[in-house]
Amino acid sequence: MQENEIDLEHLAESLRDFEGVQRKKPIYDVTRLFGETESVGGRTVMGFGDDAAVLELDDECYVLLAIDGIWGRLLDADPWWAGYCAVLVNVNDIAAMGGMPVAMVNMTATQSRNVCEELVRGMRDGVRKFGVPMVGGHMHPDTPYDALDVAIVGVVKKGCVLLSNGAKPGDVLVIGIDVHGRVYPKFPLAWDSTTLRSSAEVRKQRLTMVEIGEKCLATAAKDISNPGTIGSVGMLLETSDVGGVVDLRAIPRAEGVPLEHWLKMYPGTGFVLSTESESAAKKCIEIFEAADVNAAIVGEVDSSRKLKISNGNDETTVFDFNKDIITGIRKPARR
């Protein structure tokens, strides 16, 4: 089925109700209760609402600090993959900010020796793949559940950090995804490209974001995460307090994967950017493609506070941020 034959209303409803999107909503309640506590101590440049917190370090660099918990459905499906992805998603969070990862720690909870071994093997293989050390952690050996959380520290040069709240009306939207891979056999919502590539290749792909940051080419950036491609675009627009239109035909996509499924998948390597001009967007695309990441201009930012999808003939709204929320976090002040 071609994109212009897709039932846009059905697709919009499916993406809006997708579990990967809906499970982000409690973020609003948590951050609302914390209030402005991230400002305590005076080092916070950016707190809630981005892929990593940005903290003052010295005159040259910021510290980036992030943590991700692994989806229980994924851990139940394949503990090794959960351990590997715990490294992958954290490295991507630092890359999305234009930063370089430094080190990670983990919190592992399980009574099962077999599950624990597979989680650790997965993290070990992720460390080897992405070249970021696991330097410590904490073990709960007596919980009635299995869980894994990994935290990461990175650094980024001042003036080069990529935030997710800077998109402005008139900006160009760019998506870069490594479409060379496979649907992961035990978890069909995961697109596995990184295990099929060398360590040098996956590290080069993440350095694309460092280069984009250092060249000041993007006004906003996010990695594509559990909400999928459209959900992640929505998070960037929501945080920036703007809207936009995405042309479904332009999104980089793997052959043989139905569009609706593709838009919900977590791509091993995937980023969404906004840029001030088409020329800046084309430079970003050149940087992505030099690292074998497929990239394209997919739409434009506007002031509607709605995310719309188009098939070239028609368009419909997926999220109306005048009433809908994904995380509910909008335009946090940069300190």
DSSP string, 37-68: GGGTTS-EEE-TTSSSEEEE-SSSEEEEEEEE
Q: Are 286 and 180 in contact (CB under 8 A)?
A: no
For residue 9, give the amino acid letter: E
Q: What averages of pLDDT result for each successive group of 10 residues across the chain (335 residues)?
A: 74 95 87 72 81 91 95 94 98 98 97 97 98 96 95 97 96 98 96 97 98 98 96 97 98 97 97 98 98 98 98 95 91 50
For residue 139, give the amino acid letter: M
Provide the pLDDT for residue 335.
Answer: 38
Interior/surface letters 130-162, b for 16+ CB within 10 angstroms, e for the rest: bebebeebeeeeeeeebbbbbbbbbbbeeebbb
Count the residues in the chain.
Answer: 335
Please give the CATH number for the structural domain made up of 51-157. 3.30.1330.10
For CA atoms 96, 99, 101, 107, give the dihedral sign.
negative
Question: Residue 277: how many CB atoms within 10 A of its CB?
Answer: 13
CA-based nearest residue to 131, from 52, 194, 60: 194
| SS3 state of residue 192 | strand
Q: Kindly report the pTM of this predicted structure.
A: 0.93
Provide the pLDDT for residue 46.
Answer: 83
In terms of Cβ atoms closer than 10 Å to its own Cβ (0-12, 13-18, 19+), residue 185 is: exposed
| SS3 state of residue 135 | strand
Q: Across the beta sheet with 182-183, what order do the strands follow?
A: 182-183, 190-192, 266-267
Where in the chain are the domains? 3-25+163-320, 51-157
Give the domain 3-25+163-320 fold: Phosphoribosyl-aminoimidazole Synthetase; Chain A, domain 2 (3.90.650)
Provide the pLDDT for residue 168.
Answer: 97
CA-based nearest residue to 305, from 231, 251, 247, 245: 245
